[in-house]
Chain A
C-alpha cells in the first residue's frame, strides 16, 4: 500500500489534480475542501503527508497546520503548504505554524512529486 496523503484545498480542480498526480505515483490520496474537514479527516486516520492550501474559507491553511501540530500523532508528520504567495511573510508564518515547507502554485506535476518524495520518500 502506498503512503497516505491528505490534500486540503477549497478548489476542486486543485484537489483533483493533486490527487491524480499523486495517485499516479502510487500514493493514496484523500481530499478535504477546507481546514475543518481536513482536521476531522486527520483525526479519523493517520496521514503520512498533509498538503494544504493557505487561503480557504473557515479554517485556513496556517490554522490547520497549527491545529495538526498540536495533535501528538501529527507532531512530526510532514506538512507542505501549497501557496500562490511567495513573500517572506508567508514563509515566516508557515514556519511559525510548523509547516515542513512550501510549494508554489501553479506547480509542475513532476515538481510536486519530487518535493513529496523528498519529504515522505
Chain B
C-alpha cells in the first residue's frame, strides 16, 4: 500500500507558522535574567515540532536549520548555555527566516543553499559568541579504544565538567566549555588516551558547517550497536536495566522491548517472537480476530470525545461567511417590512399573526448577532505584531521603550482587523520616532529613561476604541503651525488646539527634522486618517507637551450594520450614522443668522455653526431653511447644522455598497433598504462636512 502524505503538508505549514508565531512571542516575553523554564520548554517544543514535520515531508533545509535551532534551544533549556540577548536576537532572526522558508515551501519554490548555511553557522556561532567561554571539541579517532577505557574516559571527563555531545554515540565526541588551554587539556587527556587516539579542536567553526541532516535522519540507528552505545550504558547508574538484553527486536526506525513481568501481553510476546525472523504478517481481516473484551463504543461518541481534545473550531472560507451575512441582511430587511405591514393590522383579529411576527423579529435579531459574531476576531491579531515591531524599531532608533497592551481580547469585525494593521503600525512607528525621546533627553527632562508606549482597545457603546499612547514629547503647536505655513496651508494663530493637531493628517505634512528610515518622510498620516475614515471610523489626538500623546481611533463594531437616524428631506429618506449626531433642535428665527463670509449660521449656546442643506451639497433647487428641524453633526473638521424636514426614527440598517451597485458618490457612504422596501441613502458625514465647509469658504471668497 502506498500512502501519500503530501496532503498533510498544508496542515504542517499552518502549524509551523503557528509554532513560529508562538516562539516569537515567547522569546519576546522572556526575561533574560530569570527565564521561565516553561517558556523555554515552549520555545524548544516549537522548534522540535517544526523539525519533526519538516523531516517528515522532506523539507530538508527547514529541517536542517530547525535541528540546529532545537539543539541550541535544548542547551538553553537544560541550563548548559545561559540565554543571552544576542541569542534572542539570533533566534528571532532565525524564526523570521524560517517563516519565509515555510512560505517558500508552501509556494513550491526552492530554498537557496546559501541561506541555510548562513543561518546554521549563525546558530552554531552562538555557542562561542559573546563573552562566553571558548570551548573544546574532542573527537576520538582511533578505532581500537576498548569499551572499558571509553567508559573510564567518560566518567573521568564528566567529573571534570566535560559532557558528551548530543550526537556522542555516533561521533565519539565530547565538548568542553572550560577555558583551559589546549596544552593543559592535552596533558589531562594524556593520562587516559594516547596522542594518536584523539583530536582536540577549538569548539567554534569546527562545527559551524552544517552537518547534512539527511544522513542523520536516514540512518539514525546505524551505529547504535557500535562501541559508543556501550559507553553510554556504562555511564548509567548500576541499578539501571541492561537494555541490550531488553530489546526484543529493533531496526533503524523502531524497536520493541522484550516482554517482562506482568507488562507482557501473552499475544504480543507470541507475535513478536514469531515475527522476529520472518517478514511482517499480512494484515488479518477484521472480524476474524475478536476485539478485546471491551465493547466497541458508538462512532458518535468517538467523534464527540475526539472533538473535545481539539480546540473545537473549524476553518470556513470568508466567502461563505460573507454569503451568510448577506442572507441575514436580506432577512432583516424582509422582517422589517413584515413588521411594518403588521403594524397596520387589527391587533384583535390578527393576534396570532402579530405574535408570530414579534417572535420573528426577536429571532432575526439573535440570528443577526450570531452571524456577526462569526466575523468577529480579537484585536490581538493586530496587536500581536507590535512587541516585535516596537523592539526592533526602538533598538534601531537607539531608544528604550516598554510596550504595554490592554484589551487584546476586544473583538472587531474581521474586515476591520485586516485594514487596521497598516494605520496602527504607522501610528506606533510615529510614536516611537517622533514621540518618545532618547534616553538622554528623557533623563534631562526628569522622566524615566525607558519610554512607555501603550496600546489599548475597549468597547464603548457600539464602537471599538483603540488608543496608541506614548509618554513622549507631545505635539508642538508652534512647530506644527510654522511647518503648515511653510507648506502653504491655510493657518492662523487663532486656531484651536484640536484644529492644529488635525493638521498633521494633511497630505504631505511632516515636522520631523530629520528623515529617518523608521517613519519615513512623514507622508502617511493623511493615509492613516483616510483609511480610518474609510472604515467608518474617526481619529482624534490629545497631547500635552512633555507628558505625551494619545491617539484615539473609534471604529464601528462592524462594516455590515449601522445604527442610524432616518430623516426625510424633500420626500427622500436619508440615514445619518448615529455616532455623529449631537442633538436635533428646532431653533427660533433669531438663532439663525447670516454672517458675512460664512453664509447662514445657527447659534447654539454661543457656538456658531454653518447651516447645511443636502441640496447645497448634492445640488438641487435651493430652499428656504429658516424653519424646520436641524440636526447638529460633529465631524473631525467641525460641527454643522443639517437642515431636515422630518426625523423618522432610529434604525439599525444593513449597509449595501453604493459602489458595487451604482457608483461612488461623494457625500454618501452607501445605501440601505428600509422596511417599506424603499431605498434610503446613507450620508457620509465626514465628507459631507468637508464639502459643506469647503463650499462656504469658497462661496465667501
- Chain A residues positioned under 8 Å from B280 (CB to CB): 114, 117-118
B204 within 8 A of A: no
Contact indicator B263/A75 (Cβ below 8 Å)? yes
What are the interface flags for A3-46 relative to B under an 8 Å C-beta threshold, 1 for contact and 0 otherwise? 11000001111101100110011101011110001000100111
Given contacts A45-B297, A100-B268, A119-B268, contact A24 B283 (CB under 8 A): no
The answer to whether B1 touches A106, judged by C-beta atoms less than 8 angstroms apart, is no
Contacts of B662 in A (CB 8 A): none
Those of A100-116 within 8 Å (CB) of chain B: 100-111, 113-115
Contact partner of B253 among A14, A107, A117, CB < 8 A? A107
Chain A residues closer than 8 Å to B306, beta-carbon distance: 30-31
Which of B12, B272, B286 is close to A119, meaning CB atoms less than 8 Å apart?
B272
Q: Quick one: given A13-B15, A91-B255, A96-B241, are A30 and B302 in contact (CB under 8 Å)?
A: yes
User: A84's closest neighbor in chain B, by CB?
Assistant: B52
CA–CA, A13 and B264, complex, Å: 31
Query: Which residue of chain B has its CB nearest to the CB of A46?
Result: B294
Cα distance A46–B240 in the bound complex, in angstroms: 32
Do A121 and B253 contact each other (CB < 8 Å), given the known contacts A13-B11, A88-B233?
no
The size of the chain A interface, using a CB distance under 8 A, is 67
Q: A3 to B309, alpha carbons, bound, how many Å?
A: 20
Smallest beta-carbon distance B257→chain A, Å:
5
Are A117 and B281 touching (Cβ within 8 A)?
A: yes
* Of listed A75, A77, A98, A117, residue having the most chain B CB within 10 A: A117
| C-alpha spacing A115/B262, complex, angstroms | 21
Q: Compute how far the CA of A30 lies from the CA of B267 in the bound complex, rounded to whole angstroms.
A: 23
The interface residues of chain A lying within 8 Å CB-to-CB of B240 are: 92
Residues from chain B with a CB closer than 8 A to the CB of A121 are 267, 271, 281, 284, 289
Bits for B378-391, please: 1 = Cβ < 8 Å to A, else 0.
Answer: 00000000000000
Inter-chain CA distance A86–B283, complex, in Å, is 28
Interface string of B455-492 (1 = CB under 8 A from A): 00000000000000000000000000000000000000
Q: How far is the CA of A99 from the CA of B243 in the complex (A)?
A: 13
Number of interface residues of B (CB under 8 A): 66
Chain B residue numbers with a CB within 8 Å of A30 are: 302, 305-306
Q: How far is B286's CA from A117's CA once the two chains are assembled, in angstroms?
A: 12
User: Are B241 and A48 in contact, CB atoms less than 8 angstroms apart?
Assistant: no
B55 touches A106 (CB 8 A): yes
| B283 pairs with A48, CB closer than 8 A | no
Cβ proximity bits A58-100 to B, threshold 8 Å, 1 near / 0 not: 0000000000010001011110000010111101101110111
Closest to B289 in A: A121
Q: Does B143 contact A (CB under 8 A)?
A: no
Q: Does B624 lie at the interface of the complex (its beta carbon under 8 Å from any beta carbon of A)?
A: no
Complex-state Cα separation, A69 to B260, whole angstroms: 13
Task: Determine whether the beta carbon of B1 is less than 8 Å from that of A12.
Answer: no
B46 CB to nearest chain A CB (Å) = 10
Which of B8, B53, B255 has most chain A Cβ within 10 Å?
Answer: B255
Per DSSP, are chain A's interface residues mostly helix, strand or loop, or mixed? mixed
Q: At the interface, yes or no: B643 with Cβ under 8 Å from chain A?
A: no
Contact of B45 among A21, A57, A118 (CB under 8 A): A57
Q: Which residues of A lie under 8 Å from residue B169 when comparing CB positions?
A: 87-88
Picked from A17, A32, A46, A115, the residue with its CB within 8 Å of the CB of B254 is: A115
B49 at the interface (CB under 8 A from A): yes
**Cα-based distance from A16 to B5 in the complex (angstroms):** 10
Residues of chain B from 135 to 165 with CB closer than 8 A to chain A in the complex: none
Q: Which A residues lie within 8 Å of B3 (CB)?
A: 20-21, 24, 109-110
Whole-angstrom distance between the Cβ of A3 and the nearest chain B Cβ: 7
CA distance A27 to B305 in the complex (A): 17
What are the residues of chain B within 8 A of A57 when measuring CB–CB?
41-42, 45
Of all chain A residues, the one with the shortest Cβ separation from B253 is A104
A-contacting residues, B280-303, CB 8 Å: 280-281, 283-284, 286, 289, 291-292, 294, 296-297, 301-302
User: Chain B nearest CB: distance from A46 CB in Å?
Assistant: 4
**Which of B236, B253, B264 lies at the interface centre, i.e. has the most chain A CB atoms within 10 A of its CB?**
B253
Known: A14-B52, A110-B1, A111-B253. A75 touches B297 (CB 8 A): no
A56, A73, A114 interface centre (most CB from chain B within 10 Å): A114
Tell me which of B94-102, B217-225, B544-552 binds A. Answer: B217-225
Instruction: Tell me, rounded to whole Å, the shortest Cβ–Cβ distance linking A66 to chain B.
Output: 12
Which B residues are CB-close (under 8 A) to A26? 283, 286
* Residues from chain A with Cβ under 8 Å of B301 in the complex: 45
Residue B554 CB within 8 A of the other chain: no
B-side contacts of A25, CB under 8 Å? 1, 283
A16 with B292, Cβ < 8 A, contacts A2-B286, A21-B3 known: no
When chains A and B are docked, how far (Å) is the Cα of A69 from the Cα of B257?
15
In the bound assembly, the distance between CA atoms of A57 and B19 in angstroms comes to 13
Q: How far is the CA of A75 from the CA of B265 in the complex (A)?
A: 9
In the bound complex, residues from chain A placing their C-beta under 8 Å from that of B305 are 30, 41, 44-45
Contact of A86 among B8, B224, B291 (CB under 8 A): B224
**A contact residues around B51 at 8 Å (CB):** 84
Q: Bound state CA distance, A114 and B48, in angstroms?
A: 26
B310 CB, min distance to chain A CBs, angstroms: 7
Which A residues touch B221, using CB under 8 A? 86, 104
Is B330 interfacial (CB 8 A cutoff)? no
Cα separation A37 to B268 with both chains bound (whole Å): 26
B232 touches A89 (CB 8 A): yes
Are B1 and A113 neighbours in the complex by a CB distance under 8 Å?
yes
In the assembled complex, which residues on chain B have CB atoms less than 8 Å from the CB atom of A37? 308-309
Could you give, for residues 342-371 of chain B, a 1 whenever the CB lies within 8 Å of some chain A CB and a 0 otherwise? 000000000000000000000000000000
Q: Once the chains bind, are B265 and A101 in contact (CB under 8 Å)? A: no
- Do the beta carbons of B236 and A92 come within 8 Å of each other? yes
A-B contact pairs, 23 of them (CB 8 A): A13-B12, A13-B56, A14-B52, A16-B11, A20-B7, A21-B5, A32-B309, A41-B309, A46-B292, A56-B45, A84-B48, A88-B232, A91-B255, A92-B240, A95-B246, A104-B252, A108-B253, A109-B5, A110-B1, A117-B281, A119-B256, A119-B268, A119-B271
8 interchain residue pairs of minimum CB distance: A101-B256, A106-B56, A109-B3, A46-B294, A76-B265, A13-B12, A37-B309, A103-B254
Binding site for A on B (CB under 8 A): 1, 3, 5, 7-8, 11-12, 15, 41-42, 45, 48-49, 51-53, 55-56, 169, 217, 220-221, 224, 229, 232-233, 236, 240-241, 243, 246-247, 250, 252-257, 262-265, 267-268, 271-272, 275, 280-281, 283-284, 286, 289, 291-292, 294, 296-297, 301-302, 305-306, 308-310
> With A3-B291, A20-B3 given, can you name 10 additional A-B contacts, CB distance below 8 Å?
A14-B53, A17-B56, A28-B302, A44-B305, A46-B294, A75-B263, A101-B250, A104-B252, A105-B52, A111-B253
